[in-house]
Structure 1
Amino acid sequence: MVRRRHAARRRQQWSTFVSDLLAIGSSGLSAYRNALSAVGENVANADTPGYSRRTVRMQAVDATGSMPFYKDQVVFGGVETVGVQRAWDEFKAAEARQADSAAGRADTRQQWLGAVESALDDGPTGVGSTLTRFFASATTLAGDPGDPLKRSQMLTALEDTTRAFRSTADSLSRVSDGIASAAKLDVDSVNASLAALYNLNGTIRTASPGSSARASLEDQRDQLIDQLSQKLDITATINGDGTVSLNSASASGVSLLQGTGPGFVTMNRATDGRLAFTLSIGGSTTPLPVGSGTLSGYADTASQTADRRAQLDALGADFVATINDWQAGGIDANGNPGADLLSQAGGATTMQIAVADPALIAAAGTDGTANGNLIALDGVRASAGLEDRWGGIVSQNAQVLASAKSEAAAADSWRDFSKAALDGVSGVDLDREAADLLRYQQAYSASARIIQVARETVQSLFDALR
């Protein structure tokens, strides 16, 4: 009777033992299959922008069993998958966004200030060179004021100068329009990203934490935040449920994204091309300061371009007044007081030569000297300093452009360094994935071996009972 009870107990222990082995083996197969799947997903997305490396978190399963070579009530139940975890560092991500925002501003300034430099055109057909040729032609005419050819050359040089003013003004106007168009595209992109991020917040709330789907949604969320940070300076706060709230980094009290809805950014352009931005959210509209990002770069270069246009218009107006005043102080070839040679109804784009007859150049002085007024033009040229003022406009923009290039180089280095640091945490290292693949394959094989041992044990028990 006692032997039968002991035999029954041993059969129960062996039954529990085999059951535990099967549970351990099957849990391992399931867990390591998930881990191998994560490795495969990492390898497949190694070059996918915005993808963060996935790892499968596991934990031991607590179970109660009785095994012949362990004490009773042994805790030994295998392993289970807890969830999928993204490799991410919020502090490194925040620094990368700041660097991206600074690089966006610097690169935009470098690009458009370079366009302004090209528009100013300090070459042979530019304003500075044509001004010098005009005054030189007047000096040449002073040597023989009655020569019709030299009079025509002076009038042609004057027309070339007006053409240079108009061309430069038109080019600067096109640069200003280009800045506004590019800024409008970025504003539209900002509004689209804010709306998409608001909708994504709602999806993230319903996604199961620790799931692969949740990890993919968080990748999308961070990509949208990165896109926004390139265009304007923001502060992103990840909430406990995985959603994000956005504020302006230049004005912490200005919210770009809140629970009631996304903000809407509007660009306002002044008549001279300067740009400003406003934000509408929650039924109110406030100015939106932009201290960094491409929008900041557009606002800065729009202001710089407006300054250059104003300087050019002022220089053109002074040139027209200077030449007409000088012309009025002399006598033309017909013996009449000099009439206006130039006209300008508005800015430099409207500058025109007002006469077509070379004889109307007032070369003679009021005292009857044939070249008296032409000789006086040298003094007018020196006192007006038109060529020096043009050189100052070009030099001022060149200095700002040189500073922008230095800023862009430093900002690009910062961006590359910070993104490399973030990629070191969240990026996929194929060597590491290969090592994990080998490790998980071995663990998977070991789990399969446990099941095989359980099967062989059962078979041995059946054979012993025959």
Structure 2
Amino acid sequence: MSDLFIIGASASRAYRTSMAAIAENIANASTEGYARRSVTMAESGASSQTMALYVARANFGGVEARSIDRAADPYLDAAVRLTAQGLASADARQRWLSDTETAMNDTATGIGQLMSGMYGQIERLAASPNDTSLRVTTLDSINRVAEAFQRTARDLSEISDGIADEATDTVSTLNHTMAALADINGSLLRASPGTSAYAQLLDSRDAALQSMSETLNVDIGFGANGTAIVSYAGQDLVRGTTSSSLTMTASADGTLALSNAAGPLTAPASGQLGGLFSAAQTVSARRASLDSLAEQFVTDVNAWHAQGLTDAGTAGGALLSYGGSAATMAALITDPADLATRSADGTLNGNLLTAYSVLRGNGSVEDGWTALIATHANLLGAVKLEYTTALERTDQAVAAREAVSGVDLDMEAADLLRVQQAYSASAKVLQIAKETIDSILRII
């Protein structure tokens, strides 16, 4: 009769463990990074002997919950990490390049259209060069272009600062994640495989690896007892219970650099940091182009104005100043009488009539600005397409992984009913064993 008690009791314990696993699955059905649990059961053997001198023999000892397993596929997990890495990079680039396009402001208040308005104002003044109000308006249009250069330079500088701030925060989060992963590795080394605690540690490990992959194009390997080994640019970031830390620095031109205790590291190629580094490089190039256009604009406008004469017969003075960057451009002349409208031969509007040929056309600042806007628009369009493609690939990879490791509530409900019935049957076995013993005792 002891066999009946052993069978019933062991089955009750095993199915209670199974019900706990199903309950955990249901509770975490919407938890990101949770892998479905299942319980592996196996026959439990028991050795017994009736007397000390008798030979022991193996008896059937019922069933036991051998291990709690995670439904995970390393290949699918790696695919999700890889696609998420590309998505994070494209997302960072798209966000900041979109902000850059806004800062460059190709609208009625932007450099391009204000410059066109300035040229139009010069043409109107050429039709009536002695009109003081038109002279004031012309000087104002020149000043507005200078202010547009200043504003655009300031906005692009703020974008560089924003990228640097996000990169700094991202690196700080990455350092915390690496330290947490080292702690998880230590817990994995102490944990027993096949237990619920071990499965939870693997979930935490994979979540940390996912976060790191979305941040940086790291290389991932695995060691004893499922511990993670993470490296970047040939240097270990996490190995066993040891983790390193990274440092991010921003230069004056807005470009970024990554380093660790051993020295500088190569720029990230993917992940959120890869996208931020790429965006920072692009914004830095836009700022340099803007400075070049500003310098050319000041040089061209001042040269054009210098070839003309004022009403007093003096050569035109500098209309604009340039202090090394677009942010320093400023208008210098405010007196309408100082505007050099005449040509050297004394024609009242002679210098104004040469503005179109001198300041506009191929190689002009206006032409360079148009090319700069078009270049950035084409790049942003390509990045948006890259983001859309990366999002689709990530969704597909996640769906494939969820098909293996995700929780299906309908399936869990069916399993719960099955296990509950098995648990009830186990209890029935115990009840029958008890009733049988009681009957035997009554007969005796």
In the alignment, does 2:145 pair up with 1:166?
A: no
Distance 1:114 1:86 in 2: 42
1:201 paired residue number:
185
- Secondary structure of the residue aligned to 2:226 is coil
2:206 paired residue number:
222
Distance 2:79 2:310 in 1: 71
1:117 paired residue number:
101
- Secondary structure of the residue aligned to 1:364 is coil
1:38 paired residue number:
21
Distance 2:61 2:181 in 1: 42
- Secondary structure of the residue aligned to 1:199 is helix
5 Å-filtered alignment, 1:136-151, equals 136-151=120-135
Aligned with residue 79 of structure 1, among 60, 63, 66? 63
Distance 2:263 2:365 in 1: 45
Distance 1:28 1:288 in 2: 58
In the alignment, is the contact (CA less than 8 A) between 2:183 and 2:241 conserved in 1? no
1:457 paired residue number:
436
1:269, CA displacement in angstroms? 1.5
Aligned with residue 333 of structure 2, among 338, 352, 355? 355
Task: Give, as a single letter, the amino acid of the residue that structure 1 aligns with 2:225.
Answer: D
- Secondary structure of the residue aligned to 1:60 is strand
Task: Give, as a single letter, the amino acid of the residue that structure 2 aligns with 1:275.
Answer: L
Q: TM-score, normalised by structure 2?
A: 0.95
Aligned with residue 88 of structure 2, among 98, 101, 104? 104
In the alignment, is the contact (CA less than 8 A) between 2:307 and 2:343 conserved in 1? yes
- Secondary structure of the residue aligned to 1:378 is helix
Aligned with residue 307 of structure 2, among 305, 329, 334? 329
Distance 1:457 1:64 in 2: 24
In the alignment, is the contact (CA less than 8 A) between 1:330 and 1:337 conserved in 2? yes
Identity %: 39
Question: Which deviates the most, 305-314 or 419-428?
Answer: 419-428
2:52 paired residue number:
none
- Secondary structure of the residue aligned to 2:224 is coil
Instruction: List per-residue Cα deviations over 1:167-215 (Å, max 9, x = no partner).
Output: 1111111111111111111011111111111122112211222221111
Distance 1:279 1:98 in 2: 24
1:65, CA displacement in angstroms? 8.2
5 Å-filtered alignment, 1:180-195, equals 180-195=164-179
1:265 paired residue number:
246
In the alignment, does 2:111 pair up with 1:133?
A: no
Distance 1:287 1:234 in 2: 12
1:74, CA displacement in angstroms? 8.0
Cα 1:233/1:451, change in 2 over 3 Å: same
In the alignment, does 2:288 pair up with 1:310?
A: yes
1:75, CA displacement in angstroms? 4.7
Instruction: List per-residue Cα deviations over 1:238-287 (Å, max 9, x = no partner).
Output: 22312110023xx4x2322124721211112222101121233xxx2341
In the alignment, is the contact (CA less than 8 A) between 1:20 and 1:65 conserved in 2? no
1:237, CA displacement in angstroms? 1.5
Runs (5+) with no aligned partner, structure 1: 1-17, 67-72
1:297 paired residue number:
275
2:422 paired residue number:
443
In the alignment, is the contact (CA less than 8 A) between 1:128 and 1:387 conserved in 2? yes
Task: State the aligned residue count.
Answer: 437
Aligned with residue 157 of structure 1, among 127, 141, 154? 141
Distance 1:110 1:318 in 2: 30
1:438, CA displacement in angstroms? 1.1
Distance 1:382 1:302 in 2: 31
Task: Give, as a single letter, the amino acid of the residue that structure 1 aligns with 2:36.
Answer: R
- Secondary structure of the residue aligned to 2:259 is strand
Task: Give, as a single letter, the amino acid of the residue that structure 2 aligns with 1:44.
Answer: A
In the alignment, is the contact (CA less than 8 A) between 2:11 and 2:62 conserved in 1? yes
Cα 1:259/1:445, change in 2 over 3 Å: closer
Distance 1:306 1:164 in 2: 18
In the alignment, is the contact (CA less than 8 A) between 1:279 and 1:288 conserved in 2? no
Cα 1:393/1:32, change in 2 over 3 Å: same
In the alignment, is the contact (CA less than 8 A) between 2:228 and 2:240 conserved in 1? no
Instruction: List per-residue Cα deviations over 1:308-366 (Å, max 9, x = no partner).
Output: 11111101100000011011101012221111010011200011001110111110011
In the alignment, is the contact (CA less than 8 A) between 1:101 and 1:232 conserved in 2? yes
In the alignment, does 2:229 pair up with 1:254?
A: no
1:19 paired residue number:
2
Runs (5+) with no aligned partner, structure 2: 50-56
1:11 paired residue number:
none
Runs of 4+ residues over 6 Å off in structure 1? none
2:217 paired residue number:
233
In the alignment, is the contact (CA less than 8 A) between 1:65 and 1:76 conserved in 2? no
In the alignment, is the contact (CA less than 8 A) between 1:56 and 1:85 conserved in 2? yes
Cα 1:86/1:313, change in 2 over 3 Å: same
- Secondary structure of the residue aligned to 1:76 is strand
1:77, CA displacement in angstroms? 2.2
In the alignment, is the contact (CA less than 8 A) between 2:7 and 2:61 conserved in 1? yes
Question: Which deviates the most, 208-217 or 114-123?
Answer: 208-217
2:54 paired residue number:
none
- Secondary structure of the residue aligned to 1:106 is helix
In the alignment, is the contact (CA less than 8 A) between 2:189 and 2:224 conserved in 1? no
Distance 1:413 1:31 in 2: 42
In the alignment, is the contact (CA less than 8 A) between 2:22 and 2:412 conserved in 1? yes
Distance 2:277 2:59 in 1: 66
In the alignment, is the contact (CA less than 8 A) between 1:169 and 1:349 conserved in 2? yes
1:464, CA displacement in angstroms? 2.9
Distance 1:49 1:285 in 2: 36
Cα 1:63/1:199, change in 2 over 3 Å: closer
- Secondary structure of the residue aligned to 1:356 is coil
In the alignment, does 2:402 pair up with 1:418?
A: no
1:275 paired residue number:
256
- Secondary structure of the residue aligned to 1:291 is coil
Task: Give, as a single letter, the amino acid of the residue that structure 2 aligns with 1:45.
Answer: N
